[in-house]
Chain A
Amino acid sequence: MRLLSLSVENFRQFHAPFRIQFAIAEDRNVTVVYGANGAGKTTFLNAFTWCLYEKFTPAFEKPEHLLNEQAWSEAPKGSDVSCKVTVEFDHDGRRYEIHRVTTHRKQDSSEPQVIRDSELSIDVTEEGGSTTRVKVPDQVIGQILPARLFSFFFFDGERIENLVKPEAYQEIQDAIKTVLGLEVVERAIKHLGTAGKKLESELKEVATPETQKHIAEKQGYERDLDAKRSEKEKALANIEALKKEQSAIEEKLRGLEEAKRLQEKRDGLQKEYDDNEVSIVAVRKELARKCSRHGYLAFSKGLFESVVTTLNSHRDKGEIPSPMKRQFVEDLLERGECICGTALKEGTEPYDKVKGWKERAGLADVEEAWTRLCAHAEDLQSARDELFQFLNEKNSFLAARIAARTLLKQKLTAIGEALGSTESEEVRQLEDRRHRVVEQEDQFKKLIWNLDGELEKLDKEIKEKERQIQASQVQESKEKKARLRVQAARKAREVFEKILQLRTDDVRGQLDERIKNTYSKISYKAYTPGLNDQFHLQLTKAVGSADEAVAKGTGENQILSLSFVGALADLARSRLGDGGRTSQNIGFQGGIYPIVMDSPFGSLDENYREQVAGAIPLLAPQVIVFVTKAQGLGEVRQKFMPRIGREAVITYFTPKAEVEEEEIVLDGKRYSYIQRSGNANEWASVLEVSSAKK
C-alpha cells in the first residue's frame, strides 16, 4: 500500500475541499505536514482512519461530529450537506480510490437527518487502465491491510508509548498473528471446538449409560468453564476501564498546580515499580526454568566424587579392567622382556605376573566407558557448582528487587497520603477517587487469580472425563463411529493448536530480532530491547551477569514502540517476499505499508527528537508525519531533509481577534500558519509547499 493522495471536504475543521499528494519516491519517502496545535493534524490522521476503517484514534474527540459546522450553518434548509474523504493508494499493481461519505439533510428541526451514513465505495483501476467499482468494499481493505493492523500504521505518536503497557500485550499478539496470516488457524481451533461438542452430543445419543454419564458430566464442566472464562473476560474489561479512569484522574492531577509535582513524582515511582515487578516475574521464571532442568544437581552433593573414588578403588583392586591395553601386555610377553628389563620366560614368576595383567587389561569399550564416566562426573560436578552460583546470584537479585518493591510501595503510599491531605478539595477528591479505583482494580485482579485456579481445575476435570469416555466400553458400531468422529475433531484441533504455537513463537523471535536492530539505530543508551514470550515489549540492561529491566522514560518508551512498529512493517514486507501469496496461505498476505503518525516528537526532549527524526524515514517505505513548527523545524527538519519528498502546511483560521497571526518559513518562503478568520467561524485549509529541491 502506497498512499498517493488524500482529498477532504467538510470534514471537521476542513471546510473547503482540498487534495494533498504524498511523497512516493524510494529515496524521498517522507511527507511532512506542519500545523499548529488544534489546527487539524489529528483530524488529518483520522480522515485516513475514518475513510479506510470507519475508526478513530483515541485522541480524536467527539467522533460523532464529523460534519463541518460552517458548511452546516451555511446550507439552506432542505439541502443536503456531505462530509467526504477520499484516499487514493496503489497496491500490488492496482490503483484504489476509497471514498467514504456521510450526508445530512438540513430540515426545519435543528437535528440533522442522516441520508447516507458512512457510505463506503471503492474504485479499482487495473494496470491496463480499466476501472471497476468493488462490490464488497470492506473485504477489499481488510485483505490489503487488516483492521487489526491499522492502528500500528496510522497512529498518534504521543500515545505510541502505550504499546509498552500491559493493556497492549493482547493487541500486539493479535497483530503478530495477523501479520502471519494465522486467523485461519485461530478460527479453525475455535470452530473445531464447537464442532467437537456437537459430535459429542451425537455420541451421547448412541452411547452406553456409563459413557452417557461421563459425557453429561464433561458437558457440565465445560459449561462451568465457559461461564468462568466469560467472568474472567468481564473482569479484564473492568480492569481496563478502571485503568483508563485512573489515567484520566492522574492526568487531571498533573494539570492542577497543587498536585502536579507529587503526581509527576508518583509517575516516575510507578514506572520504577512496574519495571521492578517485571524483573521479579522474569527472575522467578528463570529460577523455575533452571530448577526444573538442573534442580537434581542440588541433591548430588559428594555423589560424583564418591562414584569416581569407588570405581578407582575397584580398579586398583583389579576388579575393574585397568587402562592397560591387552595388546601392550601381549607384545611384552612375545618380546620376552618387561618394560623394567626383567626377562619374561614362560613358567617363571615374572612371566606369570605379567600374564595376569593381560587378564585384567581392559576391553576397548570398557576403557572408553570408563573415560566417559570420569569426564561426565567432572562435568556434572562443575554444572552443580554453576547451578549454585546461578541460584546465589539470582536469589540475591530477587531479594534486592523485593526490598526495592517494599521501598517503592512505601514511597507511593506516602505520595497518596500527601495528595489525600492537601488543602485543595479538588485534589483530595481526585485522590480519593483514584484510591477507590485502584482498590477496585486490585479486587478484580484477585478475582482473576482465583478464576485462573478454578479454570485450571476444570480443565483437568474435563481431560479426566475425556479419558474416562475413551476408556469406557463400546457396545455398538454406531457408537464406535461416533467416538471416532469426536476423536478426529479433537486431534485435528490439537494439530492446529500446535501449528499456531509454533508459528507464533517463530514470528515473535523474528520481530524480537528486528526490534533490536531498529532500536540500536535510534537510541544511544546501552539497553537491549526485546519482545518476550508473553509479548511484552521490554528494555533491559546488563547488570553483572544478569539482565535487569530498566525504568523506561517516555522517550525510551516511544523509541521502543516505534521500533516495534518498524519491525512489524518490515515483517509484513518480508512475508510478502517469503511466499505470502502461495496457495497454502490465505487471508493477510503481507505487503508494503506506509506509516502515518501524528506528533511523533510530542513529549521527547531535543536529543531524542533528532534521533527519532533520523530513524523515522527508515521505519517504512513511506512515512507521513504531522508536526507543529516547534517540533518539526530546526534540527529535526535537517535530519528529515534528505528524505523529504513533499511538505504541506495546515493554516488555522481562528475566530479570536486577539490571537497573534503566525507564519512558518520553509526554505526561505513564508506560509500562513495561524490567521484570524475575521468572523465567528473557525476552520483550516491545507497548502502544499513547493520546493525546487524536491
Chain B
Amino acid sequence: MENTKVQIEKILSEADETTRKVVSEVFKIEQEALHTSTSYGVVEEMVNRIKEVVK
C-alpha cells in the first residue's frame, strides 16, 4: 500500500503543472457528483474547468 502511494505521488509529480491542476479539478467534480449520485452536467463542468485552467 505504502509503495503504491509513493508511486501515485511519483505519477503526479512527473505530470506538468497544468495536468496536475486539471487532475485536481476533475477529482473535485467527481467527488461532488458521487456525493449527489449524479453524472448530470459533469462533462460540461469538466470542460469549463479545463478552459479555466488553460486560459
Do A and B form a real pair?
yes
Chain A residues with CB below 8 A from B15, complex form: 491, 495
- Evaluate contact between B22 and A489: CB separation under 8 angstroms: yes
Chain B residues with CB below 8 A from A485, complex form: 50-51, 54
When A199-B47, A481-B54, A499-B11 are in contact, do A587 and B34 touch as well, CB less than 8 Å? yes
Chain A residues with CB below 8 A from B8, complex form: 499, 502-503
When A195-B43, A498-B11 are in contact, do A488 and B37 touch as well, CB less than 8 Å? no
- Evaluate contact between B34 and A183: CB separation under 8 angstroms: yes
Chain A residues with CB below 8 A from B33, complex form: 187
Interface size on B, residues (CB 8 A): 32
- Evaluate contact between A198 and B7: CB separation under 8 angstroms: no
Partner of A195, one of B18, B27, B50: B50
Assembly CA distance A195 to B50 (angstroms): 9
With both beta carbons as reference points, the residue of chain B lying nearest to A505 in the complex is identified as B4
When A191-B43, A195-B43, A499-B8 are in contact, do A489 and B50 touch as well, CB less than 8 Å? yes
With both beta carbons as reference points, the residue of chain B lying nearest to A481 in the complex is identified as B54
- Evaluate contact between B42 and A488: CB separation under 8 angstroms: no
- A377 interface hit (Cβ, 8 Å): no
Q: In the complex, how many angstroms separate the beta carbon of A550 from the nearest chain B beta carbon? A: 31
Q: Which of A488-539 contact B (CB under 8 A)?
A: 488-489, 491-492, 495-496, 498-499, 502-503, 506, 510
- Evaluate contact between A199 and B50: CB separation under 8 angstroms: yes
Q: In the complex, how many angstroms separate the beta carbon of A478 from the nearest chain B beta carbon? A: 12
Q: Which of B1-55 contact A (CB under 8 A)?
A: 1, 3-4, 7-8, 11-12, 15-16, 18-19, 22-23, 26-27, 29-31, 33-35, 37, 39, 42-43, 46-47, 50-51, 53-55
Chain A residues with CB below 8 A from B43, complex form: 191, 194-195, 198
Chain B residues with CB below 8 A from A187, complex form: 30, 33-34, 39, 42
- Evaluate contact between A578 and B1: CB separation under 8 angstroms: yes
- A249 interface hit (Cβ, 8 Å): no
> Interface extent on A, as a size class?
20 to 34
Assembly CA distance A578 to B8 (angstroms): 17
Assembly CA distance A194 to B46 (angstroms): 10
Assembly CA distance A502 to B12 (angstroms): 13
- Evaluate contact between B19 and A192: CB separation under 8 angstroms: no
- A138 interface hit (Cβ, 8 Å): yes
Scan A182-222; emit 1 where CB is below 8 A from any B CB, else 0.
01100110011011001100000000000000000000000
- Evaluate contact between A191 and B34: CB separation under 8 angstroms: no
- A307 interface hit (Cβ, 8 Å): no
Assembly CA distance A510 to B46 (angstroms): 34
Chain B residues with CB below 8 A from A488, complex form: 18-19, 22, 50, 53-54
Partner of A198, one of B4, B34, B47: B47
Q: In the complex, how many angstroms separate the beta carbon of A221 from the nearest chain B beta carbon? A: 21
Q: In the complex, how many angstroms separate the beta carbon of A187 from the nearest chain B beta carbon? A: 5
Assembly CA distance A142 to B31 (angstroms): 15
With both beta carbons as reference points, the residue of chain B lying nearest to A483 in the complex is identified as B54
Assembly CA distance A580 to B24 (angstroms): 19
- Evaluate contact between B1 and A184: CB separation under 8 angstroms: no
Assembly CA distance A510 to B4 (angstroms): 12
- A484 interface hit (Cβ, 8 Å): yes
- Evaluate contact between B4 and A195: CB separation under 8 angstroms: no
- Evaluate contact between A139 and B19: CB separation under 8 angstroms: no
Assembly CA distance A587 to B32 (angstroms): 10
Assembly CA distance A586 to B23 (angstroms): 15
Q: In the complex, how many angstroms separate the beta carbon of B45 from the nearest chain A beta carbon? A: 9
Chain B residues with CB below 8 A from A578, complex form: 1
Chain B residues with CB below 8 A from A138, complex form: 37
Chain A residues with CB below 8 A from B51, complex form: 485
When A488-B54, A506-B1 are in contact, do A188 and B11 touch as well, CB less than 8 Å? no
- Evaluate contact between B37 and A139: CB separation under 8 angstroms: yes
Interface centre among B8, B15, B18, B30 (most CB of A within 10 A): B30
- Evaluate contact between B47 and A586: CB separation under 8 angstroms: no
- Evaluate contact between A184 and B19: CB separation under 8 angstroms: no
- Evaluate contact between A484 and B34: CB separation under 8 angstroms: no
Assembly CA distance A198 to B43 (angstroms): 9
Assembly CA distance A142 to B38 (angstroms): 13
- Evaluate contact between A492 and B26: CB separation under 8 angstroms: yes
- Evaluate contact between A506 and B50: CB separation under 8 angstroms: no
- Evaluate contact between A495 and B42: CB separation under 8 angstroms: no
Chain B residues with CB below 8 A from A587, complex form: 34
With both beta carbons as reference points, the residue of chain A lying nearest to B15 in the complex is identified as A495
Q: In the complex, how many angstroms separate the beta carbon of B20 from the nearest chain A beta carbon? A: 8
Interface centre among A184, A198, A488, A491 (most CB of B within 10 A): A488
When A488-B22, A495-B19 are in contact, do A188 and B7 touch as well, CB less than 8 Å? no
Assembly CA distance A194 to B29 (angstroms): 14
- Evaluate contact between B11 and A495: CB separation under 8 angstroms: yes
Q: Which of A214-251 contact B (CB under 8 A)?
A: none
- Evaluate contact between B54 and A484: CB separation under 8 angstroms: yes
With both beta carbons as reference points, the residue of chain B lying nearest to A587 in the complex is identified as B34
Q: Which of A125-184 contact B (CB under 8 A)?
A: 136, 138-139, 142, 183-184
When A484-B18, A495-B19 are in contact, do A184 and B50 touch as well, CB less than 8 Å? no
With both beta carbons as reference points, the residue of chain A lying nearest to B3 in the complex is identified as A506
When A484-B54, A485-B50 are in contact, do A503 and B4 touch as well, CB less than 8 Å? yes
Assembly CA distance A136 to B35 (angstroms): 11
Chain A residues with CB below 8 A from B11, complex form: 495, 498-499, 502
Scan A75-114; emit 1 where CB is below 8 A from any B CB, else 0.
0000000000000000000000000000000000000000
Q: In the complex, how many angstroms separate the beta carbon of A501 from the nearest chain B beta carbon? A: 10
Q: Which of A467-497 contact B (CB under 8 A)?
A: 481, 484-485, 488-489, 491-492, 495-496
Give 6 closest A-B pairs by Cβ, nearest first.
Answer: A492-B22, A195-B46, A491-B19, A506-B4, A586-B31, A184-B30
List 18 interface pairs A-B (beta carbons < 8 Å), by A numbering.
Answer: A184-B31, A187-B33, A188-B26, A191-B29, A195-B47, A481-B54, A481-B55, A485-B51, A488-B18, A488-B50, A488-B54, A491-B16, A495-B11, A495-B15, A496-B23, A503-B8, A510-B1, A586-B30
- Give 8 new A-B contacts, CB below 8 A, not counting A488-B22, A495-B19: A184-B34, A188-B26, A484-B54, A485-B54, A496-B23, A496-B26, A499-B8, A499-B11
